[in-house]
Amino acid sequence: MEENKGSVIKQLITDFFEFIKLKSESLALGIIENSSKLVSTIFSVFVFVILLIFASVFLSAALVWWLTQVLGSFIYASLLLGFIFLVIALIVFVLSKRLIASSVVRMFSDMITDILNNLRQK
């Protein structure tokens, strides 16, 4: 009887450590999955921003050329477009907390929630 209790306790300890090992592996896999999502999102945003910069440069050049013909002065056309960009920059700056910070916080909270949900389910 004592021998049977000893083997049950050994099996319980072995199962407990196996459980801890599986939980740590699950946590590591969740972190890897969420890290890869984060890196791919950052890369996608980076590519999008680069393409947006190229598009804005070419569209700005075309708009300045068109405004030069309409206004009759390259200087006035450049100043007008510069003013438009300044207004856009100020709007983005004022709304940056709502536009950028909240979406980053939401993304990180979703990642942490996913990890915690995975740990609870397994």
- Distance of alpha carbon 92 from alpha carbon 100, whole angstroms: 9
Q: What percent of the chain has pLDDT over 70?
A: 90
The pTM score is 0.59
Q: Give the tens place of pLDDT for each residue, 21-76.
A: 888 887 788 788 878 877 888 888 899 999 999 999 999 999 999 999 999 999 99
Helix 2-71 to helix 102-121 angle, to the nearest 10 degrees? Answer: 160
* Residue-level pLDDT at 122: 54
Answer yes or no: are the C-beta atoms of 99 and 3 closer than 8 Å: no
- Contacting residues for 25 by C-beta, under 8 A, at least 6 apart: none
